[in-house]
């Protein structure tokens, strides 16, 4: 593929988006609306990575970083328990000591409050940014209006993390406590061992994140956009800007502007430009059960297990847990089977006959904040990566911000918390 972007009189400005997940696709659509001729380059295909296998939640009040007060005491357990909600492969832990130190520093109370405020600024725009994209692609019905329920074995589990619940409230997000009776009226299939829940106000979910992204990409193509399956190998730069990309097909691609939406693979590419993006690949696992023999309306997030059960178009998706082990480790498929076994305890009627297992890599920054903004080293690269578990939630607003950045508009959100050079 050759993309020629030498601007002639009357020609459109050009942009290349590296990455075909939800962030890359929404960025492409927003630049296309602003008059750019846009190409998406992905080494596999649209929605081939973490976008396809996520649990679909618009988790607008999931603003509390993973690292928070008290997290240090949990780290030894993460190293020991390969089936726990968060796991670190021991040998990889040695390599990621610098990342872990930044992670633990982010967990100081004052830093957690600052991070939550930064994520809130994105959450406040998350739904409204999706509305035109869904409407124009005729898929508004993919967004289901059922709010997510956090499940707890006991009310003491809620009280134990009162800091997080208070911070959510302080940032403007409401919850509703569900006692045993109300919880089981809403979702009668839940085990009687689950004593209470929290209804997460403002959360809803997409019934098929892969179809969401592929349909938006088709709209992009229908409007003249190009999708190319190829891999970016390196950048050709001069005078503080990118001149072209060298692709694995040995061809070069040229554009006026470039956007890096490469998720867990961003660190390596950004380092070629001289930018430091300490994103860590965090494996996520899921099992989608075609005919589960249970019916739930709300996505159910089991607090103690760190996984979610989402009723999707293709069946019940049991997804979650976090595993830090790098991009080149063989997946531990026993983790997803352990999640499914735990899900059966929550939904006793659950049957698993036909299923699809999946693993993907979420791009996790030490402070849970994504990177959104201009490169510090080259003038025509914009970063949009590092969204961790919130790629779907912040997909549309990130794409809108990319459009504003590249088109040199005033951004609708203060991007200071998301600067690439904050580390």
- pLDDT of 3 higher than 60: no
Residue 84: what pLDDT? Answer: 64
* pTM attached to this predicted model: 0.93
For the cut 90, the answer to whether the pLDDT of residue 49 exceeds it is no
pLDDT digits (tens, 9 = 90+) for 72-111: 676 666 556 666 667 778 778 888 899 999 999 999 999 9
Domain boundaries along the sequence of the chain: 14-51+211-278+368-418, 55-107+145-205+280-364
**Is the pLDDT confidence value at 314 over 50?**
yes
Is pLDDT at 7 greater than 50 in this prediction?
no
CATH class as words, domain 55-107+145-205+280-364: alpha beta
Share of the chain above pLDDT 70, in %: 95
Of 362, 361, 323, the closest CA to residue 339 belongs to: 323
- What is the DSSP pairing of strand 300-302 with strand 355-364? unpaired
Please tell me the CATH superfamily of domain 14-51+211-278+368-418, with its number. FAD/NAD(P)-binding domain (3.50.50.60)
User: Hunting for tokens 């020609």 — which residue is that?
Assistant: 11
pLDDT value of position 10: 45
pLDDT in tens, 293-305: 999 999 999 988 8
């Amino acid at each position: 593929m050759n993309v020629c972007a030498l601007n002639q009189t009357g020609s459109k400005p050009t942009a290349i988006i590296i990455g075909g997940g939800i962030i890359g696709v929404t960025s492409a659509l927003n630049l296309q609306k602003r008059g750019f001729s846009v190409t998406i380059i992905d080494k596999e295909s649209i929605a081939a990575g973490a976008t396809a296998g996520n649990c679909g939640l618009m988790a607008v009040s999931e603003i509390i970083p993973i690292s928070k007060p008290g997290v240090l005491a949990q780290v030894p357990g993460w190293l020991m328990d390969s089936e726990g909600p968060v796991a670190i492969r021991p040998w990889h832990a040695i390599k990621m000591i610098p990342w872990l130190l930044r992670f633990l520093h982010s967990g100081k109370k004052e830093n957690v409050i600052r991070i939550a405020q930064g994520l809130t600024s994105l959450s406040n725009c998350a739904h409204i940014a999706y509305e035109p994209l869904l409407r124009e692609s005729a898929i508004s019905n993919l967004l289901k209006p059922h709010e997510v329920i956090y499940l707890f074995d006991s009310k003491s589990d809620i009280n134990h993390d009162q800091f997080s619940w208070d911070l959510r409230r302080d940032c403007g997000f409401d919850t509703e406590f569900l006692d045993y009776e109300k919880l089981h009226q809403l979702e009668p299939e839940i085990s009687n061992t689950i004593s209470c829940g929290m209804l997460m106000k403002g959360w809803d979910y997409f019934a098929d994140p892969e179809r969401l992204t592929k349909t938006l990409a088709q709209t992009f193509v229908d409007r003249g956009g190009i999708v190319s399956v190829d891999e970016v190998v390196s950048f050709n730069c001069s005078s503080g800007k990118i001149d072209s990309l060298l692709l694995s097909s040995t061809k070069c691609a040229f554009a006026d502007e470039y956007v890096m939406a490469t998720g867990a693979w961003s660190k390596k590419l950004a380092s070629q430009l001289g930018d430091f993006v300490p994103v860590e690949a965090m494996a996520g696992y899921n099992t989608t059960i075609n005919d589960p023999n249970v019916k739930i309306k709300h996505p159910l997030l089991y607090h103690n297990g760190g996984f979610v059960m989402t009723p999707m178009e293709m069946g019940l998706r049991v997804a979650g847990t976090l595993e830090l082990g790098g991009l080149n480790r063989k997946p531990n498929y026993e983790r997803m089977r352990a999640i499914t076994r735990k899900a059966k305890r929550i939904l006793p009627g659950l049957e698993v006959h036909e299923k699809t297992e999946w693993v993907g890599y979420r791009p996790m920054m030490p402070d849970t904040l994504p990177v959104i903004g201009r490169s510090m080293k080259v003038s025509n690269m914009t970063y949009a990566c590092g969204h961790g578990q919130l790629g779907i939630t912040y997909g549309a607003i990130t794409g809108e911000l990319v459009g504003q950045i590249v088109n040199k508009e005033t951004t609708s959100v203060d991007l200071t918390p998301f600067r690439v050079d904050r580390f």
